Amino acid sequence: MPDERVIIIGAGPCGLAAAIELQAIGLEPLIIEKRNVVHSISQYPTYMNFFSTPVNLEIADVPFTTANEKPSRLEALNYYRGIALRRNVRIHAYETVEAVEAQPDGSFLLSSRDRFGEARHYRAGTVIVATGYFDHPNVLGIPGEEMDKVTHFFREAHPYTGMKVAIIGGSNSAIDAALELERVGAAVTVVYRGEQYSPSIKPWVRPIFEGLVNKGRIGMRLGSRVVRIGPRSVTIERAGEREELSNDFVLALTGFHPDRAFLNAVGVTMEQEGFPTFDDETMESNVPGIYLAGVVASRHEANEIFIESGRFHGRKIAAHLIRSGKVPSRSQA
C-alpha cells in the first residue's frame, strides 16, 4: 500500500494551487481526481468568459496572460493544464476516492477505484478535500425532473435553436444562458422564485436582459416556480395559480452543493446551513488532519469567482502544517 504524506482529492484550480504551495515547503502531494484536470472549468459554457480579471485567477505565481480584459474558458483550461504539467504535479486522473478512514495513529486510509474498476488503497498523513460542488446540483424534487430533456448544466446555445426552453433560476448563469439562447433563435422563458431580479446579476448585463423581456423576446416569470415537467410542457405556479407552457427542454440552473454524504462519512460535520465545518484560518475541518480547499469551503459563494480566494487556501494549509510540526519550517529546510 503506497504511503503518502499528503493526498489532495480534486484537481481543480484550488487543488492544484494547494499542491504547489505544499511543493514549496518540501512536500510532493498526490492529487487524486475522478475526472480530468480542472474538470469543473471544462464543464462551463463553451464560450464563457470569466467575471474575474486574469490576475485574480493566477496560481503558483505564474502570470495568466490574455489579450482580453476577461479570460475565456479555453484560456483558463490552457493555463491550469500548463501549470500542472510544468510543475510536475502528481495527478492520478480518472480515479475516484470512495472512502477515507481515520486510523488510530492519526493517519488515513483511502480507498479508490480507477476507470477500469480496479480498487486501489493509500495511506496518507494528511488529506485535503478540494472536490468542489459541481457534481452535485441542487435538485428540484418535482415530477419529471429525471427526464432526458432536463439538465443542470448549460454548455452552448446552438443545440437549442428553434426550441422552446425553460430556464429555472435567476442567477448570472441563468441570465447569460437566456441571452445566448435568444440569440440563436430559441424561445426562452426564465422562471425565478424571487419577486424581483436577483441583485447578483452583472450590472452591465441586466439592462440588456430587461430590454429583451420588455420587448417580449424573452419570457420572464418572477415569483414563480416550476412544479411539473412533462414530455412537451412545463407547469409553472405563482401565488397559487398554475400556467402550462409548451416546452422542449429545461435548464435547471439552480446551483450546487458539497458532497455531504462523502464528507459525513469522512467525519466532517455540517453547520446548520449544510456547509462543512472548518477553521477559516487553517482550513482544517473538525477532523484533525482533514483540510478543505476551494469551492467545498466556499459556503454561500460557490461559483467560478471563488477561485479568487480559494487559490490561497493551500497557503493557509501549508502554514498550519509547518506550525503543527508535520513539516520543517522554511528556516529549518
- Cα–Cα dist 120/98, whole Å: 10
Question: Coil, strand or helix: which one is 187?
Answer: strand
Region 97-120 average pLDDT: 95
Mind listing the pLDDT tens digit for each residue in 145-189? 999 999 998 989 999 999 999 999 998 889 999 999 999 999 999
Mind listing the pLDDT tens digit for each residue in 241-290? 999 999 999 999 988 777 778 888 889 998 877 788 999 999 999 999 99
- Is the CB of residue 4 less than 8 Å from the CB of residue 122? yes
Asked if the domains 3-135+256-323 and 150-252 are classified in one and the same CATH topology, the answer is: yes
Question: Coil, strand or helix: which one is 96?
Answer: strand
- Cα 150 to chain center, whole Å? 19
Least confident range from 30-34, 40-44, 73-77, 212-216: namely 40-44
> Phi and psi for 112 in degrees, rounded to 5?
-140, 175
- Cα–Cα dist 10/119, whole Å: 18
CB atoms within 10 A of CB 93: 15
Mind listing the pLDDT tens digit for each residue in 13-39? 999 999 999 999 999 999 999 999 999
Identify the sign of the CA torsion 149, 153, 159, 162.
positive
- Cell 397559487, located at residue: 240
- Cα–Cα dist 29/122, whole Å: 12
Shortest CA distance to 8 belongs to which of 133, 108, 78?
108
Would you say residue 304 has pLDDT above 50? Answer: no
Enumerate the H helices of the chain as residue ranges. 13-23, 39-42, 73-86, 172-183, 206-214, 260-266, 307-310, 313-323
Region 295-324 average pLDDT: 79
- Looking at domain 3-135+256-323, which of 2.60.40.10, 3.30.70.890, 3.40.50.300, 3.50.50.60 is its CATH number? 3.50.50.60
pTM for the full predicted model: 0.81
Question: In the prediction, which pLDDT does 328 show?
Answer: 56
State in words which class domain 150-252 has. Answer: alpha beta
- Cα–Cα dist 291/287, whole Å: 8
- Cα–Cα dist 294/282, whole Å: 13
Q: Output the CA angle 146-151-154, nearest 5 degrees.
A: 175
Query: At a CB cut-off of 8 Å and minimum separation 6, what does 82 contact?
Result: none
pLDDT > 90 fraction of the chain, expressed in percent and rounded: 70
- Is the CB of residue 50 less than 8 Å from the CB of residue 76? yes
N-terminal to C-terminal alpha carbon distance within the chain: 28
152-156: long-range contacts at Cβ-Cβ below 8 A with a sequence spacing of 24 or more?
152/251, 152/252, 152/253, 152/254, 152/256, 153/43, 154/45, 154/180, 154/251, 154/253, 155/43, 155/45, 155/46, 156/45, 156/46, 156/47, 156/180
Domain extent listing, the chain: 3-135+256-323, 150-252
